[in-house]
Amino acid sequence: MTGELFPRERAELAPGAVHVPDWLDPSRQRELVTACRTWARPPAGLRTVHLPGGGTMTARQVCLGRHWYPYGYARTAVDGDGAPVKPMPTWLAELGRAAVRDAYDSASPGGAVTAPGGATAAAPDPAPYDIALINFYDAEAHMGMHRDSDENSTAPVVSLSLGDTCVFRLGNTETRTRPYTDVELRSGDLMVFGGASRLAYHGVPKVHAGTAPPGLGLAGRLNITLRVSGL
Ligand SMILES: O=C(O)CCC(=O)C(=O)O
Ligand SMILES: [Fe+2]
């Protein structure tokens, strides 16, 4: 690891898109990695996602609560072994809620309500998080620019990073191309995108192999994305 003179700071990359470095402490990260390993086992475990156009996603995925497939949600792993999707644990839904609160508390909240006269009230608490997508990236994996648009809810998307550092690209709501902002997501980092950025294109162009914290016991990168289905 290279030296760093200044601590990384929370940053609002675009309205409603907030990066909170080191949101999860090392022991919470280890707990989440252990949980991901359990979720990744069959039935309805980690699978390779095939896209309708013939492509294959390089990040492998397992879902909780509802099963995402290109492009919709199901109660069973319709493009996997067909088993019922594992339930969304209450504690993970609560973690999603806490993430939104912490991300928007001290940044300007993209989902905020601006009262007449300009005063900004706290963003309303979103409905319970009922979906988790867990993506596993090995050294070669990446994720192309896309929007999370299969939900029927405007609740912010919550994204937790574990293991190897990656480059996360937050784009705009109109095109897969520039303008975009690249940010490094490290193990324990939180990224929330809601409000004006809820439907922004985003992706993971690069994972830096071998950069996971040594104590975590993970080779590769796990991303836990929490969403409200509204379904
Ligand atoms: O791995 C990431 O940080 C992003 C994952 C993502 O965008 C998704 O699962 O929709
Ligand atoms: Fe996404």
Indicate the fold that domain 11-110+118-227 takes in CATH: Jelly Rolls (2.60.120)
CB of 159 closer than 6 angstroms to any ligand 1 atom: yes
Q: How confident is the model at residue 3 (pLDDT cuts 50, 70, 90)?
A: confident
Q: Of ligand 1's atoms, which has the minimum distance to the CA of residue 221?
A: 1
Distance (angstroms) between ligand 2 centre and the Cα of 175 equals: 15
pLDDT per residue over 200-220, tens digit each?
999 999 999 999 999 999 999
Distance (angstroms) between ligand 2 centre and the Cα of 116 equals: 34
**What are the residues facing 206 on neighbouring strands?**
167
pLDDT per residue over 26-47, tens digit each?
999 999 999 999 999 999 999 9
CB of 229 closer than 6 angstroms to any ligand 1 atom: no
| DSSP letter, residue 61 | E
Average pLDDT (142-157) is 97
Q: How confident is the model at residue 4 (pLDDT cuts 50, 70, 90)?
A: confident
Residue from 133, 125, 130 nearest 100 by CA: 125
Average pLDDT (121-136) is 81
Residue 139 has pLDDT above 70, yes or no: yes
Residue 79, helix vs strand vs coil: coil
Distance (angstroms) between ligand 1 centre and the Cα of 129 equals: 16
Residue from 137, 78, 125, 106 nearest 228 by CA: 125
Domain residue limits, the chain: 11-110+118-227
> What pTM, to 2 d.p., does this model score?
0.92
ipTM comes to 0.99
In angstroms, rounded to a whole number, what is the distance separating the alpha carbons of residues 223 and 231?
Answer: 23
